[in-house]
Every structure is written in structure tokens, then in C-alpha cells.
Amino acid sequence: MKKDIFIILPYKESLNANFAGAVSLYVTDTCRYSKFKKRIQIISSDNFKNKSQLFRNRNYIINFCKKYEKEKDEIKIIEIHNRPEYLRYIKKYFPKTKIKLIFHNDPLSLRGSISINDRENIISSCYKIIFISDWIQQRFFSSFKNADLSNSIIIPHGINIKKKIDLKKKKKNILFVGKLNYAKGYHIFTEAAFKFKKIDPSWNFIAIGNESRKNIFPDSNIVDEIGYKKNNEVLDFYSKSEIAVGNSVWDEPLGRIAIEASSRKCLPIISNKGGLAESKNIAIVLKKNNSNELVSVLKKITSNLSYRRSKQNLFYKKNNFDIKIISKKLDKIRFEIMHRKVIKRINDKMKILHIANFNENSDGRLYYSFANKLNNGFIKNDYIIQTISDRFFLKSNRTIIQPFNPTKKFNEKILNTLRNFSPDLLLIGHVFNISDEVFEYCKNNKIKICSWYIDSISPEFLKDNTKINFLRNLSYVDNCFITSSTEFFKKNIFYKKLKFIPNPVDSSIDNYKNFSNKTKMKYDIFVAISHGQNRGTLKKGKSDEREEFINNIAEELPQCKFALFGLNNFEPIWGSNYYNYLSKSKMALNISRGKYQNKYSSDRISSLIGNGLLVFINNKTKFHKILNSKEVVYFKNKKDLLNKIKFFHNNDKKRIKIARSGYIKYHKYMNNRVVSNYIMTCAELANFKKPFWHNIK
């Protein structure tokens, strides 16, 4: 059969079993089970004649391109592994061929994907981008304000899981597999071996691997260094050994130790670095990556046979890295390319002019914003909506003559729209440059005026010009709806105009039911914070009190897998990327800024509860009258939160029960149809029954 799928290995990789690296193993193992294997041609440097050290990657890829250029119309797919720098040559010589790029390492360390421009070019040039771990995907999209995940997918390394393993035949071996250097944590392993041998000398410490620039030399009586071994020989060692250690100091892209060791019921111990965290559910995770911690863990494992056996069996059972399944996922993409089908989805009284920031400048990044959800609620309730996006208009209408915000022109547009559209309600959200003339026009023409404000009203945020503008608007509107307790303004003369509303859920956007997901959820805890929605990225050198609190929680719970965004130099996530990680999480921490938090939460609460996650909320929010302890989990302090996360991490039934109850209540009483009808009722433009939360103070 003619070869029309070409897989290009990095120059350094070899198909020779004696020298095969992780990428070669990934390719050969997946191809073995591929239904396209007769159509696949693997390209490696094994037979590459030009072995010059100068420009070797360039010469290698150009050699391939020139050799197969005549077949460019017959080659359907080219899969490039871990060398984005090859992409420009493939595009040049094979312009019609579909390209897949598979990342096995940090994209920010590989030529051709270091800069944002490089990565944007990759997105536009490739049919599909494959990452072997979420961590690598996160690195690829770091610094992106808009992350389109539609042509990317996670397909990790896999292993042929051995079916029959006799635990009674295992030897008292503790293995280290990999490069014998500091980055891999080999120095920590050897230090731990030296200390542990004094406690129990009956255990054997074995190091499998090599290092060309070796500078760690343990006592051969303590650590037996047996050199590089073929992968099948390494797997045989796992089958015969009790424990394997993979305690990398650097950020591993994925780490095969936990995957391979657990497949042979060899108990893995790993550090919490980079992509290693993605195998937390099949390994014991070191709380601290040092020799004392490793010795402590080894003492517990080696002294308790029943504990060791239970973990070996559990991690073996949880290992979902079956190479046959991985191969099928790769084949699915190949099938899509070979038989691609484009499916197009075709998504139609009282009138409302809604002026707010509808985020046109965000290019879809904030499609689930409060303004958009509220707008959807009015539409679902059969109201006629006309919108003006203030920030987009002001930015688009700046000129050299008028470089600042053209507020006069903006107000003229509002007046013209009011005249032409004749709305029953003018609804404004976070718009503070509306002229007196506009407000007067509404009053004179019996147009109701309402506003909404969803930022924190805590004194450290609602101050100076922000406070002045807020109170000015309050003086003009009939009602102002806020997502905090109105009690804060009790002494204000316009206090009665203020109404509490919850952040609305939108069933068309918040459509996941994580509590009913029968497949394994990838993350235990989802946490996403930011330095402002409209900004999109982190402010350099800035952090807030939440970051330290969240990091402390994550450090205290090494066995829990966190999806953390907006801290530790990981950019916040938006758009489909936000819902991608949210949809794979069991629980979430809802934590907001500000001293005054009575009934306040950022608008992410609606997407967390509204998609079926179990949500942890601070007691000081006083949300109990809105959501009781059977619908969310309240915590008093860090210790209380830690205990409750641990409890629900180990009690799926109770987690599911509370998450389901919260989801049902939120979708029933706090959806965007209920909230929009409540606004119309308060404006005396409708007469719906007010929801239970309308008089909560």
C-alpha cells in the first residue's frame, strides 16, 4: 500500500531500540496499533547520510523535503514531532498536505514556538496541534489573550498495560529511571538511598540510565547504577520491582515513570513538577522534593505491606494510559483528515436599549460575560433588545483631531438610538459618561432607566472617581441592581433604589453537569482569578492576597490535582479555554477580593455552580440565605477549607449530592430569564412573581 502519512521524528531521535527516546517510543508504540499503519512512513535520522553537526536539523528536514517533493500531491498527512522549526519547510514544499504538530516538551523552549508570533503561525498553519499533557498546552497558550483550542487536543504517552502481574514475585527494589543528573532529581534519590540504607539495608536502590556529563557519584554499595536499558528491559524491571521514584526538579512535560511503573504494579513516587502532576492519580506525590521527605515516604511504604499492595493495585487500576486507546485517538484525527465533513450549526413587546461593554474588542474571549448573559435572558423572555457597546464605540471613534474618548459623539448616538428605537427601558451597565441630556430625554419621554453594577463595592475599590461616577448614575436611575448586599448603602439617600441580584446562569452557555459525568474528571479543584476581565492578562509585578492563600491550599494538598489560572505566572483563561478546564473539574474554589463581601461574588460563581461543580465559598460572604450548606460548602478559614476539600475529595457521593443540589437551585431561581424578568418587574414594566432572593439584605 502506498505511504501517504509521514511521521517526522526529531533529528536526535532514533528508531533503534538501543537508542530510542520518549518520542520514538510514542511513535512506534502508537503506530503498532494504528489501523493506518500500512500507510505510515516514519522518518528518522538513522539513515540520514549528512551527519555534520552544523545546521543538522535544517539539513535533515530539507533532505526529507527534497527527497519526497515529487510525491507532494499524494502525501495526505505529515506529522511533525517536537520540532516546530520544521514547520516552515513542510509548508513550503508540501503546501496542500495537512500538518499535525505534536509537542512532547515545553513549546517555549523549542525553536519555532518561542514567541507568540511563532505560536500564532503554528495555529494558522496546522490542521491539529497535539500536546502530550495539559501543562504543555498551557505553556503553548501562555500570554495569549485569546486562546482558540478548537484545533488542539491532549493525547498523552501510553503504555501496553500488562495483564498478569504476580506481586509475590516482586523484589525489594527501589528504582530510579532516567538521566542521572540534578534536573531529574538524582542527587535527591542518592541522598535518600544513603539515609534509608541505615534504616533498612534489605532494600536495593537501582539506577537505570546514563549521563554524558555525570557529576553525581553515589557509593556503589548503596546505589547500583546499571546503565542505559532498552524500554522493554526497563518495563521488565518495573514488573519485578516494588517501588519507582521519579522526583524531577525541573518541569517535566509529562513523565513516563508513573505511567510505566503503575502499569506493572510498581509503586511510583513522583514530585509535583510540570506535567508530572497529570499522573497524580496513579502515584504517590512528594509534598516536598527533598531527601528527608523521600525517606519518610519510603519508610511508610516499605514498613506496611498491606498499604503498599493497596496502592499498587489502586494505581494499576486507575492507569488510563493504555497505548491502544492513545493510538485510537491519533487515528481518529487521521480519519477526520482523510474523510473530513464540515458540519455547520444554524442557530429568532417590550423594547430595551442595553448599553454596556459587550466585549467586541475581546474577539469572543468574554462571550459568557454578565452583560451577554443578561442580554440572552431578555431575548429568551421575548423582549426586543438593541445594544450599544460603549467601549467599542469610544475606541473606534477616536481620531487624530480627537484622540481622547469622543463622549459627545457617543451621547449623540444614544440620543439618536432612543429617538429611532423608542425603547421602554434604558439599561446601562458600568457606563459613567452618559450626559444629563440623555437622562433628561428619558425622563421626558417616560423611558425607564435602570443600571447594573457587578464589581465589588468594598471601600478599597469603590472610591475616588469610581464612587463619584457610581453615585451620580444612582441619582438618575429608577433602580440600580448590584451583586452585593445593599446594606452597605443604607445611609445613602438613594438606598431604596438599590436592589440585589445574583450573577445569572445561562443554560445555553452553562450547559455542563459535572456532577453527572460518569467519566473520570481530570481535575479535582478548579481555581481561576485575574487582574481584570477587560485587561485579559496579568499585571507584571502585581499579586493580591488570594494568590498566597490559593498556593498554600495547593501545597497542602499534593494528592489533589489543581487547575490553577491567573497566578504563578500562568495567565488567566478565557473563552472556550475557560470552559474546557472548568468542564473537567469536580470542585471549585470561589474566592473574591475586597474587605466587604456581604452577598458579593465575582460573576464566575454562576459558571462554577451552573456547570455542576461543588463550590467552596467563604463564610464572610453571608451567602447562606441564598445557597445553604446542602447546595455549596462554606469554609471559615484555611484549615477548615483544607479539611473540607480532603473530605469531599474522598467522598464522591456526598460531593455529587451537594453539587447537584446547588446546580438545580441556581438554574431554577437564578437563571438569566428570572433575573431579566425581575429587572423588568422592578422597573414596573412587567408583573412577575419576585424570586425568593429579592428581599435578602
Domain 351-500 has CATH 3.40.50.2300: no
Superfamily the domain 169-320 falls into: Glycogen Phosphorylase B; (3.40.50.2000)
Task: Give me 186's grid cell.
Answer: 538524582
Q: How far apart are CA 641 and CA 213, in angstroms?
A: 46
Q: What is the number of other CB atoms lying within 10 angstroms of the CB of residue 16?
A: 11
Same fold, 5-154 and 351-500: yes
Task: Give me 207's grid cell.
Answer: 539506577
Q: Which CATH number fits domain 514-670: 3.40.710.10, 3.30.300.160, 3.30.365.10, 3.40.50.2000?
A: 3.40.50.2000
Q: What is the number of other CB atoms lying within 10 angstroms of the CB of residue 636?
A: 11
382: alpha, beta or left, given left = phi > 0 and alpha = psi -120 to 50?
A: left
**Residue 120, phi then psi, degrees to nearest 5:** -65, -35
Please say whether the beta carbons of 396 and 692 come within 8 A: no
Please say whether the beta carbons of 618 and 646 come within 8 A: no
Task: Give me 599's grid cell.
Answer: 452577598
Domain boundaries, the chain: 5-154, 169-320, 351-500, 514-670
Q: Which segments in the chain show pLDDT lower than 70? A: 49-55, 145-148, 150, 340-348, 401-403, 531, 534-536, 541
Please say whether the beta carbons of 277 and 300 come within 8 A: no
Q: Which of these, 106, 141, 135, lies nearest to 122 by C-alpha position?
A: 141
Q: How far apart are CA 433 and CA 411, in angstroms?
A: 8
Strands (E), 280-369: 284-285, 351-356
Task: Give me 130's grid cell.
Answer: 497535539
DSSP, collapsed to helix, strand or coil, labels residue 251 as: coil
Return the amino acid letter for 367. Y
Long-range contacts: 213-222, Cβ < 8 Å, 24+?
Answer: 213/181, 214/180, 214/181, 215/181, 216/180, 216/181, 216/182, 216/186, 216/187, 216/190, 218/190, 218/193, 218/194, 219/194, 222/190, 222/193, 222/194, 222/197
- Residue 568 confidence (pLDDT): 83
Pairing of strands 152-154, 128-131: parallel
Q: Which of these, 129, 98, 103, 75, lies nearest to 10 by C-alpha position?
A: 103
Bridge partners of residue 154, in order along the sequence: 131
Please say whether the beta carbons of 509 and 368 come within 8 A: yes
CATH number attached to the domain at 5-154: 3.40.50.2000
